[in-house]
């Protein structure tokens, strides 16, 4: 959005100024998938995908003194960018040893490219111009994961879902990783009532840095690095679900406790326009 040039007339002359803003963001995705039944009990698929996310927010301001002295002029520009590009290869398999037993397993490899950054330029007569660029360097990262999941009915009333994900993440010569177990158990109390309990441990290597003071989509996606550790979370949940056959509805109540570590955010009062306080 560009504002038409405005002119203010004064006793000594005229001041001409203009504001402009430009906001662009979007996603692109391309993928290929191949499915095959390997045996009557084993099904597999392979996926190759490429994704791209781009965001750019640009602000400009121009001021010109048209008085005879003409000693004042200003040209200010600020831009904030966030980009994430991924190339992904993964293989997933499903194995059915019996009608009451289903096993899923697979592997994923992702090449990440992050380009978060900001640029500030100010030229104000008679002060020297200031041009500052922050964090615009391209950051590459690799992520490899293996997972397995076993969904089994143990008895007529008790079923379980046991899963484990093993991840390794490399960025700037630093490696992160760990085990991410997940457990879900379901017990049928009656014909239409079930009690569920679950536990999950998770890690995330992509941080969302939000500017809570702005009404525009000004979020920046930044990777975990040597200075910023991956996000970690653990969650416990317990719930009860009841089906109402006569209404065709299911009513459920669930309580959970979640603990999170290594989250990042702006300091209080800091914004993209004041990035030195981040």
Domain holding 70: CATH number?
Answer: 2.40.170.20
- Whether 79 is in a domain gets the answer yes
Query: What is the predicted pLDDT for the residue at 105?
Result: 97
Query: What is the predicted pLDDT for the residue at 126?
Result: 58
Query: What is the predicted pLDDT for the residue at 276?
Result: 43
- Whether 1 is in a domain gets the answer no
- Whether 64 is in a domain gets the answer yes
- Whether 239 is in a domain gets the answer yes
How many domains are contained in the chain?
1
Query: What is the predicted pLDDT for the residue at 112?
Result: 92
Query: What is the predicted pLDDT for the residue at 81?
Result: 77
The predicted model scores a pTM of: 0.72
Query: What is the predicted pLDDT for the residue at 55?
Result: 80
Query: What is the predicted pLDDT for the residue at 54?
Result: 84
Residue that is written with structure tokens 């390997």 in the block: 38
Q: In the chain, which stretches have pLDDT less than 50?
A: 2, 10-12, 275-278
Report whether 94 contacts 147 (CB < 8 A). Answer: no
Residue that is written with structure tokens 């326009």 in the block: 273
Query: What is the predicted pLDDT for the residue at 140?
Result: 87
| DSSP letter (8 states) at residue 2 | B
Report whether 275 contacts 242 (CB < 8 A). Answer: no
Domain that holds residue 97: 6-277
pLDDT tens for 76-110 read 777 777 788 999 999 999 999 988 899 999 999 99
- Whether 210 is in a domain gets the answer yes
């Amino acid at each position: 959005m560009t504002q038409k040039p405005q002119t203010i007339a004064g006793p000594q002359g005229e001041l001409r100024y203009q504001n402009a803003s430009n906001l662009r963001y979007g996603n692109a995705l391309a993928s290929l998938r191949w499915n095959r039944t390997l045996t009557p009990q084993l099904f597999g698929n392979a996926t190759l995908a490429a994704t791209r996310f781009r965001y750019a927010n640009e602000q400009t301001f121009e001021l010109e003194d048209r008085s005879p002295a003409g000693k004042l002029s200003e040209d200010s520009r600020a831009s904030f960018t966030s980009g994430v590009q991924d190339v992904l290869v993964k293989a997933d398999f499903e194995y059915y040893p019996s009608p009451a037993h289903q096993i899923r397993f697979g592997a994923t490899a992702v090449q990440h490219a992050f380009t978060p950054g900001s640029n500030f330029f100010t030229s104000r007569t008679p002060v020297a111009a200031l041009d500052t660029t922050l964090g615009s360097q391209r950051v590459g990262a690799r992520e490899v994961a293996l997972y397995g999941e076993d969904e089994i009915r143990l008895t007529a009333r008790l079923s379980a879902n046991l899963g484990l994900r093993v991840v390794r993440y490399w960025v700037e010569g630093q490696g992160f990783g760990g085990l991410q177990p997940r457990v879900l158990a379901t017990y049928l109390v009656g014909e239409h009532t079930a009690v569920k309990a679950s536990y999950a441990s998770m890690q995330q290597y992509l941080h969302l840095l939000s500017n809570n003071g702005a009404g525009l989509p000004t979020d920046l996606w930044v990777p975990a690095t040597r200075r910023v550790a991956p996000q970690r979370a653990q969650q416990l949940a317990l719930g009860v679900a009841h089906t109402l056959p006569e209404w065709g509805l299911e009513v459920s109540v669930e309580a959970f406790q979640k603990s999170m570590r290594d989250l990042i955010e702006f300091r209080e009062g800091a914004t993209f326009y004041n990035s030195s306080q981040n």
